[in-house]
């Protein structure tokens, strides 16, 4: 892996979104990944619809939570994703109003990625932002800087929040992952969370995945 990488600087990441009072982080994590994959394969950065997944992914539980792996399947089954403009976010479960005619993006497959953080960094630099899930310990009160909670306090066994890895690097020799969250820009560092890299902090390495666009 290169020593640092940031997909935001390369135009592969849309603006920080806000899931509102709804446990739909899984949908934001997956659309963020698909936005990056589509940009890298097709050259267009499109802001994609989370509400389509909240309403139409019947395996997941809308605002009660969901899993990225199921969301990829739902995108394949539905036939793709509409854009944010065409199917905008309301933050609560509605009747599915997906229209195949409005699909702008499709995916062909999805893959699970390595649990080795060095390999994850290499994959990210080569292939784009990664959907991950972490233990959100401390995030309720996080303001800025690189978070590195004690291991027993932020165990990989209690994964409860899906987010998007968009880059990595070092700040004053402290290695970090740059993580796009979905709690708006008035949280964290303009909506981003920085987590220690290389120690499996908060289970950052245990649930990494990506869509595949051919």
Partner 1 sequence: APSRRDAGAQAWEPASPELLRRPARFALDTYNRGLAAGARAVLGTVSGRVRRAGRGSLYSLKVTLEELPCTDPMVCQLPVTKKTLLCSFEVSYELGKHALLKQDCGPVDTKMKDDKNETSSPLLPLSDRDPLPQDFYVRMASLFKYFITTYNRTYETEEEAQWRMSIFINNMIKAQKIQALDRGTAQYGVTKFSDLTEEEFRTIYLNPLLKEELGKKMRLVKFVGDP
Positions annotated as catalytic residues are 25, 161, 181
d(CA 148, CA 202): 8
Q: Which stretch binds partner 1 (CB under 8 A): 9-17, 44-52, 67-75, 98-106?
A: 67-75
As measured in angstroms, the least distance from the Cβ of 41 to partner 1 is 16
Please, is 144 exposed, middle or buried when counting C-beta atoms within 10 Å of its C-beta (0-12, 13-18, 19+)? exposed
Between 138 and 169, name the residue whose CB sits nearer to partner 1. 138
d(CA 99, CA 122): 37
H/E run at residue 29: helix 25-42
DSSP 180: E
The answer to whether 133 and 203 have CB atoms below 8 angstroms apart is yes
Report if residue 192 touches partner 1, rule: CB under 8 A. no
Conformation bin of residue 61: beta by default, left when phi > 0, alpha when psi is -120 to 50: alpha
- For partner 1, the binding residues in 151-190 under the rule CB under 8 A are 151-153, 155-162, 171-172, 174, 183-184, 186-187
Backbone angles phi, psi at 69, to 5 degrees: -60, -40
The answer to whether 114 and 207 have CB atoms below 8 angstroms apart is no
- For partner 1, the binding residues in 127-156 under the rule CB under 8 A are 133, 136-138, 140-153, 155-156
- For partner 1, the binding residues in 27-66 under the rule CB under 8 A are 59-61, 64-66
Contacting residue, 19, 31, 33, 51, with partner 1 by CB under 8 A: 19
d(CA 159, CA 200): 12
As measured in angstroms, the least distance from the Cβ of 105 to partner 1 is 19
Report if residue 93 touches partner 1, rule: CB under 8 A. no
Contacting residue, 12, 35, 70, 87, with partner 1 by CB under 8 A: 70
Report if residue 111 touches partner 1, rule: CB under 8 A. yes
Q: Which residues contact partner 1 by CB under 8 A?
A: 19, 21-23, 25-26, 59-61, 64-70, 72-73, 109-116, 119, 122-123, 133, 136-138, 140-153, 155-162, 171-172, 174, 183-184, 186-187, 194, 196, 203, 206-207, 209
């Amino acid at each position: 892996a290169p020593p640092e990488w940031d997909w935001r600087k390369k135009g592969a990441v849309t603006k920080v979104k806000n899931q509102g009072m709804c446990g739909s982080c899984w949908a934001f994590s997956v659309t963020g990944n698909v936005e990056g994959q589509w940009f890298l394969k097709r050259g267009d950065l499109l802001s994609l619809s989370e509400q389509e997944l909240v309403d139409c992914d019947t395996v997941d539980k809308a605002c009660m939570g969901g899993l990225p792996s199921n969301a990829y399947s739902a995108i394949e089954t539905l036939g793709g994703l509409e854009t944010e403009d065409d199917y905008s976010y309301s933050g609560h479960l509605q009747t599915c109003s997906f229209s195949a005619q409005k699909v702008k993006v499709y995916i062909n497959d999805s893959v699970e990625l390595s649990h080795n953080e060095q390999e994850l960094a290499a994959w990210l630099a080569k292939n784009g932002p990664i959907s991950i899930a972490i233990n959100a310990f401390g995030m309720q009160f996080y303001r800025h800087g690189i978070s590195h909670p004690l291991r027993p306090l932020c165990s990989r066994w209690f994964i409860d929040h899906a987010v998007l890895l968009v880059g990595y690097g070092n700040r004053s020799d402290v290695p970090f992952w740059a993580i796009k969250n979905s709690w708006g820009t008035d949280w964290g560092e303009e909506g981003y969370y920085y987590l220690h890299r290389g120690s499996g902090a908060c289970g950052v390495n245990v649930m990494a995945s990506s869509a595949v666009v051919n």
